[in-house]
């Protein structure tokens, strides 16, 4: 006998031992849910914690370690959480198929503070989603590399995050480094910031070949001496780079480049706005644009002037 009048829903109930009863959207949180919040009194990286926002884990690293690979687990990081990363890989996103989502807005978003020259936040698994977290350098003379994406991080989404310096001397010299042979890494809605007059070289730096690197809806503001996107370590002759709906202001006048590529890398730029940089130098150097496609992209290198369509050579770019 057919049953009628039953409404289908994506919501389901979930009760973890020691945690609260919760109603979850299976499309967003198909696995277990854990909570992290260093500012909550009694937060602890130990058994019996993490299942409730009233008794959360104390660190994101421990919350990640509580997850099970490929189950669809989610870690919610509570507003005003602060986590110190004092060594390489002290925070390691290394469980496949998880989401780590910061809660809050503005300066209430969770902060991960890199406090030593060799501090890194590492990424070491496929199919991860990291959202709404501030990653910031707090070490005088600069952190060598902030976010270190290792080989084996296919299908990584970094969404609505902030990667920034906290002073001209407290920078991320390379905001993000990406090792070779990663596929389908996406930065969506992220903000990168470095103070003028510092020693930062690149917001995103690749160490070898990549495929399907996507940068969309991002905002780059700062001083990067090599290039905002320093991606010329190797050629990517198919399914290379896509940059779309992105704004960049690089105040560095000695190089001031937006993007460096191997001349055979296939790259697509769509609706990108670039301000500042070295006079008479296009955002993507002529030596690097042999396989680039550019549509609706604009730039200017001079204050109080209007942007013009990106040129292919320096002779028709301001100056």
DSSP for 170-239, please give it.
B-EEEEEEE-TTEE-EEEES-EEE--TTS---EEEEESS-EESEEEES-EEEE--SS-SEEE-SS---SS
Phi, psi (rounded to 5 degrees) for 286: -55, -30
Is 270 part of a structural domain of the chain?
A: yes
Residues 132-147 have a mean pLDDT of 97
Q: What is residue 67's predicted lDDT score, i.e. its pLDDT?
A: 98
Burial bucket for residue 83 (CB in 10 Å: 0-12, 13-18, 19+):
buried
Is 57 part of a structural domain of the chain?
A: no
pLDDT in tens, 189-239: 999 999 998 899 999 999 999 999 999 999 999 999 999 999 999 999 888
Task: Label residue 29 by pLDDT band (50, 70, 90).
Answer: confident
Q: Is the pLDDT of residue 47 over 50?
A: yes
Phi, psi (rounded to 5 degrees) for 64: -65, -45
Nearest CA to 26 out of 14, 38, 44 is that of 14
Domain count, the chain: 1
Q: What is residue 316's predicted lDDT score, i.e. its pLDDT?
A: 42
Phi, psi (rounded to 5 degrees) for 316: -120, 35
Q: What is residue 319's predicted lDDT score, i.e. its pLDDT?
A: 38
CB 134 within 8 A of CB 162: yes
Is 3 part of a structural domain of the chain?
A: no
pTM of the complete model: 0.90
Strand partners, 24: 12
Is 59 part of a structural domain of the chain?
A: no
Q: What is residue 318's predicted lDDT score, i.e. its pLDDT?
A: 42
Nearest CA to 248 out of 298, 295, 185 is that of 298
Q: What is residue 286's predicted lDDT score, i.e. its pLDDT?
A: 74
Q: What is residue 1's predicted lDDT score, i.e. its pLDDT?
A: 46
Q: Is the pLDDT of residue 154 over 90?
A: yes
Is 19 part of a structural domain of the chain?
A: no
Task: Label residue 26 by pLDDT band (50, 70, 90).
Answer: low
Is 163 part of a structural domain of the chain?
A: yes
pLDDT in tens, 248-300: 999 987 877 899 999 899 999 999 999 887 777 778 887 787 788 888 888 88
Is 40 part of a structural domain of the chain?
A: no
Nearest CA to 290 out of 255, 267, 264 is that of 264
Is 50 part of a structural domain of the chain?
A: no
Find the CATH number of the domain harbouring 141: 2.160.20
Nearest CA to 198 out of 230, 162, 166 is that of 166
Beta-carbon contacts of 3 under 8 Å, excluding residues fewer than 6 positions away, are none
Average pLDDT, the chain: 89
Give residue 291's domain range. Answer: 68-316
Q: What is residue 27's predicted lDDT score, i.e. its pLDDT?
A: 66
Residue 315 or 133, more confident: 133
User: Could you tell me what percent of the chain has a pLDDT over 90?
Assistant: 72
């Amino acid at each position: 006998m057919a049953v009628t009048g039953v409404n289908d829903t994506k919501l389901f109930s979930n009760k973890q031992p020691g945690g609260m009863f919760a109603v979850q959207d299976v499309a967003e949180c198909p696995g277990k849910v854990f909570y992290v919040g260093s500012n909550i009194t009694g937060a602890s990286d130990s058994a019996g914690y993490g299942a409730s926002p009233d008794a959360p884990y104390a660190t994101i690293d421990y919350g990640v370690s509580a997850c099970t690979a490929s189950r669809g687990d989610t870690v919610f990081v509570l507003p005003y959480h602060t986590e110190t990363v004092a060594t390489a890989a002290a925070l390691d996103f290394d469980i496949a198929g998880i989401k780590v989502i910061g809660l809050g807005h503005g300066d209430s978003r969770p902060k991960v503070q890199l406090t030593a020259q060799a501090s890194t936040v590492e990424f070491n698994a496929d199919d991860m989603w990291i959202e709404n977290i501030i990653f910031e350098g707090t070490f005088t003379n600069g952190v060598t590399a902030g976010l270190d994406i290792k080989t084996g991080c296919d299908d990584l989404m970094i969404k609505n995050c902030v990667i920034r310096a906290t002073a001209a001397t407290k920078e991320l010299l390379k905001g993000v480094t990406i090792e070779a042979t990663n596929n389908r890494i996406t930065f969506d809605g992220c903000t990168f910031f470095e103070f003028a007059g510092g020693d930062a070289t690149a917001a995103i730096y690749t160490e070898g070949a990549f495929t399907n690197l996507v940068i969309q809806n991002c905002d780059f503001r700062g001083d990067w001496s090599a290039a905002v996107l320093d991606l010329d370590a190797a050629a990517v002759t198919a399914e290379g780079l896509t940059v779309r709906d992105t704004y960049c202001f690089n105040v560095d006048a000695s190089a001031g480049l937006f993007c460096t590529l191997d001349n055979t890398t296939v790259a697509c730029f769509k609706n990108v706005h670039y301000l500042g940089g070295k006079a008479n130098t296009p955002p993507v150097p002529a030596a690097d644009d042999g396989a680039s496609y550019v549509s609706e992209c604009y730039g200017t290198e001079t204050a109080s002037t209007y942007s013009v369509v990106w040129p292919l050579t320096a002779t028709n770019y301001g100056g």
